[in-house]
Amino acid sequence: MQVRLGLASELPPSSVRSSILAIITNELEEVVFLYPDEDGGGISRFLIGGRPEGSESPAETVVREVREETGWVVAPGRILGYRHFHQTAPRSEKSDRPHPDFIQPIFSARAILQDLSRIVTEDFIPWRLISGAEAARRIPENQQPLLFAALPPRLGHSLCWKS
């Protein structure tokens, strides 16, 4: 499978969408980082989300999935970009994703409060908050534009041009 990341300001058509994802930040300009804390994973260590249920909008999906997986109540933001998957193998009968291409839109979301009672135990993903600068150091340079798009403009800009 081939995967590429990109920035976007518009939602892709529902016919090619799969999971809806978000990068979560807080008022201290920290980012939710998913464990395990090991090398690799790139931007995926900052993406939380899942598939819409019923007629859920992308924003409703972000709110529900983040709550179920981390306990954070969030305010969904704007679309930042996407992960585009191109499947090179024939369609699997077990897959319900569009074939040969599907897209996972990536949104920003602002953490408002944490309510651990909202976690769905089987969906819980261990996480911790890290600074935007630390987050940038943990991912390859070609993946950083998505992270920078989720951070406040002054911080994202300063990280982009840091020498």
CATH topology of domain 2-154: Nucleoside Triphosphate Pyrophosphohydrolase (3.90.79)
Instruction: Output the pLDDT for position 41.
Output: 75
CB atoms within 10 A of CB 75: 12
Instruction: Output the pLDDT for position 142.
Output: 92
Average pLDDT over every residue of 106-127: 92
How many CA atoms lie within 13 Å of 109's alpha carbon, on the beta-carbon side? 31
| DSSP-derived 3-state class of residue 137 | helix
Q: Hey, what are 111's tokens?
A: 């953490």
Question: Is pLDDT above 50 for 105?
Answer: yes
- The residue with tokens 């920078």 is 148
Average pLDDT over every residue of 94-102: 90
Average of per-residue pLDDT values in the chain: 89
**Alpha carbons 44 and 33: distance in angstroms, whole number:** 9
Query: Do 68 and 120 meet the contact criterion of CB atoms below 8 Å apart?
Result: yes
Question: Is pLDDT above 90 for 78?
Answer: yes
Domain ranges (residues) in the chain: 2-154
Question: Is pLDDT above 60 for 128?
Answer: yes
